[in-house]
Structure 1
Amino acid sequence: MAGRLTFIDLFAGIGGTRLGFELAGGECVFSSEWDSNAQKTYNANFGETPAGDITKITSEQIPDHDILVAGFPCQPFSIAGVSKKNSLNRPHGFLDKTQGTLFFDVARIIRDKKPKAFLLENVKNLMTHDKGNTFRIILDTLRRDLGYNIYTSVIDARSVVPQHRERIFIIGFRDPVLFSFPVIKNRNPKLRDILDEKVDPKYTLSEHLWNYLQEYAERHRKKGNGFGFGLADPMGITRTLSARYYKDGSEILIPNGGCPRRLTPRECARLMGFPDSFKIIVSDTQAYKQFGNSVVVPVIRSLASAIIKTLEINDSDG
């Protein structure tokens, strides 16, 4: 088959999805990401600045491509995002006019460019959001309106990184194909494998914050609520790294003798499967947000390899 399969990287973030597809042999021909800090990190690592707001980009401005890749924004569908919107009496999901329609921009581009395949990624909660209506509308749009053959799977990244992180992946093919999700080999990763031995003291929690977190957790326990800081076991795995990690780091704390410490941005990068060669050029606050919003690179690489292999077999048969 002539040449590498091409892909476009929508809602690109810092490029975790691109990295996975490039490692699988794909060639990126277009990227889009509106957040200026994420654009800086993307540029530092890939030598190009993604185009901005996808809602303002016409299909004609996007080059032809074999595979469309998009991790459309989590917030309208994530549990944290939904509860926050509910408390503010703001609509969420597809009714949220600021972000909820971004899926439809993905659908618009699929309709106009007709890629051979696509990979969409989102939080697991997408499946149950609005009693399942959101997920049903997405699948109906892709299957009925756009005519793609759809495969879905929830994958927990804990087999390749020491983190419990479940995401829903929706893969579509324009033509009928034989496809099954790859079995991702369990590497049995342990948190200690990604930790640095010497870490700047600034990442250690102050006694005041550590005492506060313990008292806060105890109050919630007495009320029967589940809140608790996440003191991680170096021989085990962590909770899910979120974009809120920069606030106090309480969801993943590392035992440190005395007060525990936060993960460093580099350790967060490793927790998401990024190589140490990946450049971190933004502030710690931005870096935490960026990695918390990103994808687990080895999971994407496995899925990308399976998609590319399926397309190559299909093209040679055709």
Structure 2
Amino acid sequence: MIKQVKRKRELGKSEQFNLSQLEKAMLTHYEASKHPIYEEAVEKLRLKIGGGLCDSIAKELFEGHTPKFAGLDGIRCNFTFIDLFAGIGGFRMALQNLGGQCLFSSEYDKYAQQTYFANYGEVPFGDITREETKAFIPPKFDLLCGGFPCQPFSIAGVSKKNSLGRKHGFADEKQGNLFFHVAEIINRHKPKAFYLENVKNLVSHDKGNTFRVIRNTLLDLGYSFDFRILNGKHFVPQNRERTLMVGFNKGIFGKDISFDFNQVDIPCVQHQISSILMPDVDRKYTLSDQLWAFLQQHASKHKAKGNGFGFGLVDLNGVTRTISARYYKDGSEILIPQEGKNPRRLTPSECAALQGFPIFPINTGHGERSFVIPVSDHQAYKQFGNSVVTTLIEAVGREVVKVMKG
């Protein structure tokens, strides 16, 4: 009994009273946006646990925590958007920089939810396939954005599933059909536009059939459809090709509406990985002798077979390979050479900067505007590997907003 009382003292009120993830999402979204769709649910929560306690929990969630990227209020916003498959908020970061107000966010992974809350002050709603989650999407918003899960379509993802005898693409029951939930939400809410991101291989997967289904589905909903494969290396020192898809509601903009990717400002800059490296790095990021020997032997074995597998020792004056969600395993795809030592992994902060997130003092001089990483290195590597190049998303988004604003 004494242990239980002590445990309750250690827990916050939201945990003591078993506030669900859905209730935390609803409460934090209401505190952030005051949108009417969350108001009724908050009132029900107040009746359930008591108004004073509800206010106390809300205070606890935000006490001592001022999100650095909480976003705009309704007075200052230029447009509204919802953030699906939000991850750690790469789309949100980009669109808020353009004057957008986020009205709803959804992310399944609990650790990504922690990072999202730490930076934006909202706990994302969870499983977007559930109707109880979709019920909280505001009826009206301007732009739907998101990077729906790419593992069923990526080259690495397809190879892995084939080796395991598992289905991929739209035949992947767990992830591949999530696109159709995006289509359902577009059909239900009829936003002015959509803005989606996926891996380069999406276009060629299953001999182009997967992409054809996506395109035709969105066209059938009454939207235009334009896409371009763009490389993040023009914005950050990372070779990262991604398929970006944009469409506009023909009922609003007319049947001839289209999006011209040629209008996107692509910088003519040769980025260098050295620009985002920290001068003093904890020695725990340096590879052990055992791991470094293993990676070299592994690379030599595959080279002898004529394969291209192996570690990626970076040219400090060039760009890196694509960082992946598996970077936490050994960091082999991006290794930083060190004089007189074994090479090292990137730190989580450097990974954040590699994806265009503001990190003090790497790429921003403002400590109060530095992205917060509240999770373990293991989770941080997965999160940044799964994220988008925010600066690329912003560059395309700027032209999307111009069309939306007419």
TM-score bucket of the superposed structures, by smaller chain:
over 0.9
- Cα 1:285–1:275 change in 2 (3 A) is same
List structure 1 runs of 4+ shifted beyond 4 angstroms.
none
Whichever residue aligns with residue 174 of structure 2, its letter is: T
Q: State how far apart, in whole Å, the 2-side matches of 1:179 and 1:206 are.
A: 49
Using the TM superposition, give the Cα deviation of residue 57 of structure 1 relative to its aligned residue in structure 2, in angstroms. Answer: 3.4
Give the match for residue 351 of structure 2.
268
Q: State how far apart, in whole Å, the 2-side matches of 1:2 and 1:113 are.
A: 23
Q: State how far apart, in whole Å, the 1-side matches of 2:162 and 2:203 are.
A: 18
Secondary structure of the residue aligned to 1:6 is strand
Q: State how far apart, in whole Å, the 1-side matches of 2:287 and 2:76 are.
A: 55
Whichever residue aligns with residue 39 of structure 1, its letter is: Q
Superposed CA offset, 1:101-129 (max 9, x none): 10000000000000000101000000111
Give the match for residue 375 of structure 2.
282
Give the match for residue 149 of structure 2.
73
Q: TM-score, normalised by structure 1?
A: 0.96
Secondary structure of the residue aligned to 1:279 is coil
2:402 to 288, 309, 314: 309
Maintained 8 Å contact 2:248/2:258: no
Q: State how far apart, in whole Å, the 2-side matches of 1:282 and 1:213 are.
A: 27
Q: How does 1:215-234 map to 2 (within 5 A)?
A: 215-234=297-316
Using the TM superposition, give the Cα deviation of residue 3 of structure 1 relative to its aligned residue in structure 2, in angstroms. Answer: 4.9
Whichever residue aligns with residue 34 of structure 1, its letter is: Y
Q: How does 1:33-72 map to 2 (within 5 A)?
A: 33-57=107-131, 59-63=134-138, 64-72=140-148
Larger Rg belongs to: 2
Q: State how far apart, in whole Å, the 1-side matches of 2:129 and 2:102 are.
A: 20
Q: State how far apart, in whole Å, the 1-side matches of 2:92 and 2:393 are.
A: 9
Is 2:203 the partner of 1:127?
yes
Considering fraction of residues, name the structure with more helix. 2
Using the TM superposition, give the Cα deviation of residue 271 of structure 1 relative to its aligned residue in structure 2, in angstroms. Answer: 0.3
Using the TM superposition, give the Cα deviation of residue 84 of structure 1 relative to its aligned residue in structure 2, in angstroms. Answer: 1.1
Q: TM-score, normalised by structure 2?
A: 0.75
Give the match for residue 280 of structure 2.
198
Q: State how far apart, in whole Å, the 2-side matches of 1:289 and 1:23 are.
A: 24
Maintained 8 Å contact 2:328/2:377: yes
Q: Which moved more, 1:119-128 or 1:54-63?
A: 54-63
Identity %: 58
Using the TM superposition, give the Cα deviation of residue 178 of structure 1 relative to its aligned residue in structure 2, in angstroms. Answer: 5.3
Maintained 8 Å contact 2:198/2:244: yes
Superposed CA offset, 1:193-219 (max 9, x none): 000111000000011111111111001
Q: Which moved more, 1:219-228 or 1:5-14?
A: 219-228
Give the match for residue 52 of structure 2.
none
Using the TM superposition, give the Cα deviation of residue 88 of structure 1 relative to its aligned residue in structure 2, in angstroms. Answer: 1.4
1:179 to 259, 276, 279: 259
Aligned residues: 312
Q: State how far apart, in whole Å, the 2-side matches of 1:150 and 1:224 are.
A: 40
Q: State how far apart, in whole Å, the 1-side matches of 2:99 and 2:283 are.
A: 41
Using the TM superposition, give the Cα deviation of residue 256 of structure 1 relative to its aligned residue in structure 2, in angstroms. Answer: 0.8
Unaligned runs of 5+ in 2: 1-74, 360-369
Superposed CA offset, 1:146-203 (max 9, x none): 1111110000010110000000001000034353121322332210000011100000
Give the match for residue 17 of structure 1.
91
> Cα RMSD over matched residues?
1.3
Whichever residue aligns with residue 348 of structure 2, its letter is: P
Whichever residue aligns with residue 253 of structure 1, its letter is: L
1:236 to 318, 329, 338: 318
Using the TM superposition, give the Cα deviation of residue 286 of structure 1 relative to its aligned residue in structure 2, in angstroms. Answer: 0.3
Q: Which moved more, 1:84-93 or 1:263-272?
A: 84-93
Q: Which fold has the larger relative contact order, with Cα–Cα distance below 8 Å and residues 6 or more apart in sequence?
A: 1
Q: State how far apart, in whole Å, the 2-side matches of 1:183 and 1:196 are.
A: 29
Unaligned runs of 5+ in 1: 314-318
